[in-house]
Amino acid sequence: MNTGKCLQIVRLAILPLLVGFLAACAGDSPALDSGEQAAAATPPPVEGAAGDAGVDDVAGLYAAQCASCHGESGQGNVAMQAPQLAGQQAEYLARQLRNFAGGLRGQSAADAAGASMAAMAQGVDAKYFEPLAAYLAQMPVKPVQRAAVAEQMMARGKRVYQSRCGSCHRVDASGIAAMQAPALAGMSSEYLQRQLRNYRSGIRGAAKGDRYGAQMRAMVGTLRDDADLEAVAAYLSTL
Kindly report the pTM of this predicted structure.
0.76
Q: Tell me, which fold does domain 52-142 have in CATH? A: Cytochrome Bc1 Complex; Chain D, domain 2 (1.10.760)
pLDDT at res. 23: 42
The 3-class SS string of 65-101 reads HCHHHHCCCCCCEHHHCECCCCCCCHHHHHHHHHHHH
Computed over every residue of the chain, the mean pLDDT equals 83
Per residue in 202-234, pLDDT (tens digit) is 999 999 999 999 999 999 999 999 999 999 999
Sequence-separated (6 or more) residues with CB below 8 Å from residue 19: none
Per residue in 24-75, pLDDT (tens digit) is 444 443 443 434 443 333 333 333 334 443 446 999 999 999 999 999 999 9
CATH architecture label of 145-239: Orthogonal Bundle (1.10)
- Distance (Å, whole) CA 189 – CA 168: 19
Kindly report, as residue ranges, where domains of CATH 1.10.760.10 are found in the chain. Answer: 52-142, 145-239
